[in-house]
Amino acid sequence: MHTVRRRIIPTINSSSIFLYKSIERRLFPQGSSSPPILQKEQISSADKMAKPISIEVWNPSGKYRVVSTKPMPGTRWIRLLSDQDCRVEICTDKKTILSVEDILALIGDKCDGVIGQLTEDWGEVLFSALRRAGGTAFSNMAVGYNNVDVDAATKCGVAVGNTPGVLTETTAELAASLSLAAARRIVEADEFMRAGLYDGWLPHLFVGNLLKGQTVGVIGAGRIGSAYARMMIEGFKMNLIYYDLYQATRLEKFVTAYGQFLKANGEQPVSWKRAATMEDVLREADVISLHPILDKTTYHLINKESLSIMKKDAILVNCSRGPVIDEAALVEHLKVNPMFRVGLDVFEDEPYMKPGLAELKNAIVVPHIASASKWTREGMATLAALNVLGKIKGYPVSTDPNQVEPFLDEKSSPPAVCPSIVNAKQLGLPSSKF
Ligand SMILES: NC(=O)c1ccc[n+]([C@@H]2O[C@H](COP(=O)([O-])OP(=O)(O)OC[C@H]3O[C@@H](n4cnc5c(N)ncnc54)[C@H](O)[C@@H]3O)[C@@H](O)[C@H]2O)c1
Ligand SMILES: O=C(O)[C@H](O)CO
């Protein structure tokens, strides 16, 4: 068997290079775990079964095989796994979204755990394969896990991790950015300048909406929805109306206290209201931001009917999941209501947009970047790796998935606890307050 073993220059900082005895770069044919190492040119593109998957291997002599379906930001997550006797294999294939077949090839015959991405379809096929390969641990590098069939994982005895908390503020900041950009028509104005169309100040040029004193509506006032609400209330002195299945007590207390502070300083106080129905939010709010999870109850929550009850000049922001909005209905609504504006980070058929959306001036569109700050993305990688490591090592599961700081502190070792396993109870895993 012809083999190619090349040392490559690691992309991590030089102080950590010595920790790793060697780095291999391999090309995996699908369907085998300890495959022959092949040269690219040996593979026929016509032969689908031999499609190569390229990987990078860290700590090759590690006892536990952990696969990451994507390179992830930072190096701490690799170091934490390697230090605990894991051989870390990172898929470096150029394809953005890996298919189930690609991931089956990565899992192979022996795999202890996988770190996966929200673009992948983690269902019965993959969890059974992981279990057959001896694996019991999977973590999404995301807080949302609508791409994961948790029941299938539980049936296979596989723990499912996610990464809450570390992305709360970063995601809320993007929702706030989209709200402002839409209110003040920043993208349209930027395009206008770059096109050389500006020939002097005019009273009517790019007039938008003032946020101060208006009402912000939040649908799904969990971690991110509440953080976004606070930014808009504290930053722009907006009033709040929210809809959630549960009462957002801390958020309500914050608005009450902030309102009292403003009043004591002779300013107009802010107020809050918990709406009995989502429709109440849609009718009353000037800016509405969507932050629920995606499940059966939130699929197409915003549709033709719900759009029709919103104010004609309302702003709608979506940093949750694309299918929460019926995007085709939204395109039609934007066409006939030019004063209605949207800021979208997520799309129903990601990575695609529904026909017509890209041409609309009253839509701001960005490519699912809400959690894309360096600190957050490195933290997500760390939490995902610690979920997998913790399950492999038999550590208990944290009772408070919002307590992320101890895991992210670079100066100390992380606690011997899994940060967040969503099916911990179903699997009967031990828990720890730590
Ligand atoms: N765009 C991005 O990059 C990005 C980043 C982070 C999170 N997200 C998405 O945001 C979601 C929320 O994250 P989070 O950390 O705030 O989660 P969370 O669990 O803290 O908040 C979700 C809230 O939605 C509420 N909810 C559930 N069903 C509802 C319904 N039918 N109507 C109204 N409210 C409902 C829940 O009660 C909860 O309060 C994630 O599940 C993920 O899909 C997207
Ligand atoms: O659910 C998530 O975490 C996001 O969509 C990506 O950060």
What are the tens digits of pLDDT across the range 238-282? 999 999 999 999 999 999 999 999 999 999 999 999 999 999 999
Atom 6 in ligand 2: residue holding the nearest Cα: 142
Q: How many Å from the N-terminal Cα to the C-terminal Cα in the chain? A: 50
Distance of CA 430 to the CA centre of its chain: 27
SS3 415: coil
Distance of CA 242 to the CA centre of its chain: 22
Per the annotation, the verdict on 350 as an active-site residue is yes
Tokens describing residue 281: 């939010």
**Alpha carbons 229 and 214: distance in angstroms, whole number:** 13
Q: Compute, in angstroms, the gap from residue 341 CA to the centroid of ligand 1.
A: 22
Alpha carbons within 13 angstroms on the beta-carbon side of residue 220 total 21
77 Cβ neighbours under 8 A, 6+ residues apart: 378, 381, 382, 384, 385, 386
**Alpha carbons 89 and 62: distance in angstroms, whole number:** 11
**Alpha carbons 434 and 351: distance in angstroms, whole number:** 40
Furthest CA-CA distance within the chain: 81
C-beta of 245 in contact with ligand 1 (< 6 A): yes
C-beta of 142 in contact with ligand 2 (< 6 A): yes
C-beta of 173 in contact with ligand 1 (< 6 A): no
Cis before 351? omega within 30: yes
Q: Ligand 1, residue 224: give the atom nearest the CA.
A: 16
C-beta of 368 in contact with ligand 1 (< 6 A): yes
**Alpha carbons 84 and 392: distance in angstroms, whole number:** 10
**β-bridge pairing 137-140 and 113-116:** parallel
pLDDT score at 342: 99
Identify the active-site residue in 321, 333, 341, 377: 321
Identify the active-site residue in 348, 368, 377, 378: 368
**Alpha carbons 362 and 138: distance in angstroms, whole number:** 40
pLDDT score at 52: 59
Distance of CA 273 to the CA centre of its chain: 28
Beta strands in 113-200 (DSSP E): 113-116, 137-140, 159-161
Q: What is the pTM of this model?
A: 0.91
Q: Ligand 2, residue 376: give the atom nearest the CA.
A: 7
Per the annotation, the verdict on 321 as an active-site residue is yes
pLDDT score at 26: 35
CA dihedral of residues 20, 21, 23, 29 (deg, nearest 10): -110
Place of tokens 């490519």: 367
Ligand nearest to the CA of 289: 1
| Best CA proximity match to 398, nearest among 429, 371, 377 | 429
Q: Compute, in angstroms, the gap from residue 353 CA to the centroid of ligand 1.
A: 22
pLDDT along the chain (434 residues), means of 10: 28 28 34 32 30 87 98 98 98 96 97 98 98 98 98 98 98 99 98 98 98 98 98 98 98 98 98 98 99 98 98 98 99 98 98 98 98 98 98 98 95 97 98 92
**Alpha carbons 191 and 291: distance in angstroms, whole number:** 29
pLDDT score at 23: 34
Tokens describing residue 428: 């009967």
- Angle made by CA atoms 402, 407, 408, in degrees to the nearest 5: 100
| Best CA proximity match to 232, nearest among 273, 176, 181 | 176
Place of tokens 């298919």: 99
Q: Is 325:295 a contact under the CB 8 Å cutoff?
A: no
pLDDT score at 37: 32
Whether ipTM tops 0.90, in short, is yes
Beta strands in 128-225 (DSSP E): 137-140, 159-161, 215-219
| Best CA proximity match to 133, nearest among 91, 105, 102 | 105
